[in-house]
Structure formats: structure tokens, C-alpha cells
């Protein structure tokens, strides 16, 4: 594998899964569904052979964790604001 390709894949693995979790959470209004859809996309890319290095797996996992944490905060904040409006 070319080093430039590895660097590009690493940068994408650090940011894209987390952004996808947040995006899918915004679309579906549920953070677990957003996480599941993102994991399904990553699994499909691994199956297709685009990811084949342990450091890319670790970067994907880190990004998923951060994205899920942020999506959970986002959902909880929206629920609190909705509860305050209802009162």
C-alpha cells in the first residue's frame, strides 16, 4: 500500500465515521440507529476490501466512539430543551 494512500485513509478514518454517526442521528432522531447505520457502512467497506490495516480499524473505532458520545449529548440536549418548552 502506498504511504499517501495510507495517510489519506487514516485521515478519513479519523473523521468520517464520527461525522456519519452525527449525520445519521440527525436524520433518524435516534443515536443508536445512527451508530448502527455507520457500523454497517464500515463493515461493508471492510468486506469490500477498502480497510485492511489494524491502525485504520483503531481510527474507525476511535471516531465512532467520539461521534457516538457527541450524538448522545446532542439527543439528550434536544430532549431537555423539548421538556423545558412543554412546561
Q: Rounded to an integer, what distance in angstroms lies between the CA atom of residue 24 and that of residue 8?
A: 23
CA dihedral 9, 68, 22, 54 (to 10 degrees): 10
pTM of the model as a whole? 0.88
Specify the pLDDT at position 83.
86
Write the pLDDT tens digit of every residue in 10-59. Answer: 999 999 999 999 999 999 999 999 999 999 999 998 898 888 889 999 99
How high is the pLDDT of residue 57?
94
Amino acid at each position: 500500500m502506498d504511504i499517501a494512500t495510507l495517510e489519506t485513509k487514516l485521515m478519513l478514518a479519523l473523521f468520517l465515521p464520527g461525522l456519519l454517526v452525527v449525520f445519521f442521528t440527525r436524520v433518524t432522531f435516534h443515536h443508536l440507529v445512527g451508530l448502527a447505520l455507520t457500523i454497517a457502512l464500515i463493515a461493508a467497506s471492510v468486506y469490500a476490501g477498502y480497510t485492511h490495516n489494524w491502525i485504520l480499524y483503531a481510527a474507525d473505532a476511535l471516531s465512532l466512539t467520539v461521534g457516538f458520545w457527541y450524538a448522545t449529548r446532542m439527543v439528550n440536549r434536544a430532549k431537555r430543551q423539548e421538556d423545558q418548552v412543554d412546561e
